[in-house]
Amino acid sequence: MEFPGSSNSGHSSTELSACSSSFPSWSFSSSEFDQPFTEQQLQAIEAIEAAYQSTSAKKRRPNSTLDENGVSCVSPNTGRRLPRSIFSQQSPHFSPLSSCRVNSKMRFPALSYGGRIIYSRTVSEVDRASRELAKKINSTRKGMEQITIGFDIEWRPSFKRGVPPGKAAVMQLCLENSECHVMHIIHSGIPQSLQALLEDDTLNKAGVGIASDASKVFKDYNVSMKQLDEISDLANQKLAGVPKKWGLRALTETLISKELRKPDRIRLGNWEVAVLSKEQLHYAATDAFASWYLHEILKGFPHVEKVADSEPIA
């Protein structure tokens, strides 16, 4: 059956599959995918900013400067800058609109996962999905030193004092940009096939705050995850400046000039429902994809010390 959603032949589509023996197969197309601003749109934005700056120049902070595009930037003494050598090694999708961090959210199109979402919710479905993922991982291993999957979990929050949050309800695993698994483990639990993947010390699991996620998985399901890769730590090794605790949203803006949207109505929603909604599935898959994608980008950067040796950081 057709999943409720819009279709637009002019854009690439997200395919959503239900890995289910009790439900028929269904798919949908969505037009909500990340598209870069056109040159005309950028010129319009810059014109608005130029008009604003002409009327607010006297109110600008003393420690701010203008970059080559006329955008107000924090001075080097108060903010962070990425070295130019990092930009040169960036992904082809990386297109910074300014040499400084731009405060305006309108500068960043939304990051939207455009690949296949494989949703499983019963024991047999999650077991089958885990086995299929394991086969793909083993096939990908050939010729590669290390395999990394993007990892994240979701759970139902508590808004009452003294009431603990729910168990980890959803687990997301993303191996590549074309396919992400969303497993509704609150209903299925963690079968042996999925446990084997989580405990595989040759399979790298990347995420932000992944140690906390692993701790929750152990507490809720008595499964000990191995080979964890904290993306915030990797970012501090690869990016110039004072080390900080990076969030996934901030890294998405810094590395690929996209906004990782996290609406509270979804983020703080009920992840224990019988069947996840289209919006919940897309949110969950996008988070895991962002973890995998940003890890792949950072992995290709040299360490900060090597950058400093080749080019002084302004």
Q: Which residue has the higher pLDDT, 305 or 86?
A: 305
Domain interval for residue 48: 39-108
Where residue 64 falls among pLDDT bands split at 50, 70, 90? very low
Q: Are both 231 and 259 inside the same structural domain?
A: yes
Do 137 and 279 fall within a single domain? Answer: yes
* Secondary structure (H, E, C), the chain: CECCCCCCCCCCCCCEEECCCCCCCCECCCCCCCCCCCHHHHHHHHHHHHHHHHHHHHHCCCCEEECCCCCEEECCCCCCCCCHHHHHCCCCCCCCCCCCCCCCHHHCCECCCCCEEEEECCHHHHHHHHHHHHHHHHHHHCCCCCEEEEEEEEECCCCCCCCCCCCEEEEEEEEECCEEEEECHHHHCCCHHHHHHHCCCCEEEEECCHHHHHHHHHHHHCCCCCCEEEHHHHHHHHCCCCCCCCCHHHHHHHHHCCECCCCHHHHCCCCCCCCCCHHHHHHHHHHHHHHHHHHHHHHCCCCHHHHHHHCCCC
Same structural domain, 200 and 256: yes
pLDDT of residue 93: 44
180 and 280 housed in the same domain:
yes
Average pLDDT over residues 180-190: 97
What does the pLDDT look like over 117-137, one tens digit per residue? Answer: 999 999 999 999 999 999 999
pLDDT at 107 > cutoff 90: no
Percent of the chain with pLDDT over 70: 63
What is the count of structural domains for the chain? Answer: 2
Average model confidence (pLDDT) across the chain: 76
Is 289 found in the same domain as 185?
yes
Do 272 and 259 share a structural domain?
yes
More confident residue, 235 or 240: 235
Q: What is the pTM of this model?
A: 0.65
Taking only the tens place, the pLDDT of each residue in 258-292 is 999 999 999 999 999 999 999 999 999 999 999 99
* CATH number for the domain that contains residue 129: 3.30.420.10
Asked if the structure places residue 165 within a domain, the reply is yes
Domain boundary among 108, 129, 144: 108
Same-domain pairing of 204 and 293: yes
